[in-house]
Amino acid sequence: MKQKLSNKYYLESAPITKAIAHLSIPMMIGMSVGTIYNVINAFFIGLLNNTDMLTAITLGLPIFTILMAFGNMLGAGGGTFITRLVAKQNIEKAKKIAGYTFYSSIIIGILLGIIAMIALNPIVNIMGADTSAIINYTKSYSLTMFIGGFAIVMNFALEQVVRAEGASKESMFGMVVSTIFSLIFDTLFILVFKFNVVGVALSMILANIASSIYYVYYLETKSENLKGFIKNFNISLKDKIEIYKIGVSELFLAGFLIITTLLLNNYSIRYGEGVVASFGIALRIVQVPEFLAMGLALGIIPLIAYNFSNENFKRLEDSIKQSALWILGLSGGVVTLVYIFRNVIIHLFSNDSAVLSVGVYIMAAMLISAFFNGFTTLFTGIFQASGQGLPSTIMAITQGILFIPVIIVLNNFFGLHGVIWSMTITEIITFLTGVILYIIFNNKIKKNKVVAN
C-alpha cells in the first residue's frame, strides 16, 4: 500500500521538482547505462582492431532502430493510455491494454524476423555495405539481430508499460539488468568465444530477454495496478486506435531515422571506411547527452499524462517548464564536458589514423545536434503524453523527411563537410518546429484552463 500511495503522490501532488527527480533521475540513470551498453559493443569490437567489423555494426544500426521503434510504438501508445486510464481509476482496462501491448510485441517481433530473413540480401545492400568482408560481417550481424529481434521489441514495450504507473526505479533496474548481462555476454562471445559481430548481436538479444523477464516479474508480482495483465490480450478496435494513433509517431520517427542512417552511411562511405567508422563512434558517444535528456523527457511522460487526464493544467504547465530547465542544464553540461575531452574519448575506440583524424570533427557536429535533440524529445513526449497524435506525427515526419533534402543539398555544395553537418541542421529545424507546435498546444491548455475556472 505504501508503494501505491507513493507513486500516486508523485504523479498527483508532490512538489514539481521532487516529482521530476523521482520519475526522471532513475530513467536518466537507466538510459545512460543503456548508452554504455551500446558503447560497450563498439569498444569490444574496437579491441579486435578490425575496422571492417566496426563498419559492419555501424551499418547495422538501423536494425536495432526499427526493432526499438516497434517496441516504442506499442510502449508509447499503450503506456500513455495506461497512465490516463489509471488516472481515471479504470484499472481493468489498463490491465487489458498492458496485456495487449506485451503479446503484440512478441508477435510483431517474430513477424519482422521472418520478413527480414527472407529479404536479407536486399536489406544488406541497402545498408551500404560494399566490400566482400563488410558485406559478410553485416549479413552475419543482421541475421542474428533479426532472428532474436522479438526480444528487443518486447523489452522496449514492457519498459514503458512499467513506467506508465510511475514505477521509474523499476524501469531503471530493468535497463541495468540488460546492461550487466550485455557486458558479461560481450566478454564471453567476443573475447572468449571469438563470435565477433555475431557475438555483439547475440549479446544484445540475450540481454534484452533478461530485462524483459525482470519486467514481467515486476508487473505480475509487484505492480500497483497491473497484476494479472498477462491473462489479457483482446481489446476493442477503439482501444487499438487509441494506442496506435500515439504509437505510430514512433514508427514514423524510426522509419525516417533508418532513412537518415542509410543516407548517412551511403554518403559517408564515399569518403572512406574511416569516415563511416568515425560516425559510428561519434553517434554512440553523443548518445550520452541525448539519452540523459531522453530519460528526463520519458520520465515525466506519466506526470504529464496523469495531470492532463485529470485537467490539472497548472501542475501540467509547471512540470513542462521545470523539465525544460533540467534539459537545458543537463544537455548543455554534458555536451560541453564531452567536447572538452573529445580527443581522449575518440582514442578509446580506435587507433586507425583515418578514423581519428575525422572523428573529432564529426563528434563536434554531433554534440551540437544532441543538444537540440533533448528539447525535440521533450516536445514529442508532451504531445504523446497528452494524446496529441497529429503533433507527435508532425515532429516525427519533420525530423526524418527533412534530412533527405538537407544531406543531398549540403553534400552537393560542401562535400564531406555538408554530410557531417546535415544532421545538426535538420535537428535545429525540427526543434523550431517543436516550438511552434508547443505554442499552439499551450494556447489550447490556456483556453481549457479558463473554461475549467
Residue pLDDT, tens place only, 341-354: 887 877 777 777 76
Higher pLDDT, 178 or 213: 213
Q: What DSSP letter does each residue of 323-359 carry, written as one string? A: HHHHHHHHHHHHHHHHHHTHHHHHHTT---HHHHHHH
Q: Which residue has the cell 583515418?
A: 354
The per-residue pLDDT of the chain, averaged, comes to 85
Query: SS3 of 246, please?
Result: helix
Tell me the HSE value of 123 on the side-chain side, using a 13 A CA sphere.
Answer: 23
pLDDT digit string, tens, across residues 50-92: 778 888 887 787 788 788 889 988 998 899 899 889 888 899 9
Residue 385: φ, ψ to 5°:
-60, -35
Confidence of residue 449 (pLDDT cuts 50, 70, 90): low
Q: What is the pLDDT of residue 2?
A: 41
Q: Averaging pLDDT over each range in 35-44, 185-194, 242-251, which range is the top one?
A: 185-194
pLDDT digit string, tens, across residues 6-52: 577 888 888 998 888 888 888 777 666 656 666 677 777 777 777 78
Query: In this structure, which amino acid lies at residue 426?
Result: T
- 3, pLDDT greater than 50: no
Least confident of 163-172, 239-248, 345-354: 345-354
Give which of 323, 427, 440 is closest to 371, Cα–Cα. 427
Query: SS3 of 69, please?
Result: helix
pLDDT digit string, tens, across residues 26-36: 877 766 665 66
**Contact (CB, 8 A) for 249 and 396:** yes
Question: Which cell numbers in the block locate residue 366?
Answer: 554531433
Least confident of 207-211, 277-281, 314-318: 277-281
Confidence of residue 104 (pLDDT cuts 50, 70, 90): very high
Give the ranges where 341-415 is alpha helix by DSSP (H): 342-347, 353-385, 389-401, 403-414
Question: For a pLDDT cut of 70, what percent of the chain falls above it?
Answer: 94
Which residues have C-beta within 8 Å of that of residue 363, sequence separation ≥ 6?
281, 282, 285, 286, 338, 339, 342, 345, 346
Q: Is the pTM of this model over 0.85?
A: no
- 306, pLDDT greater than 80: yes
- 5, pLDDT greater than 70: no
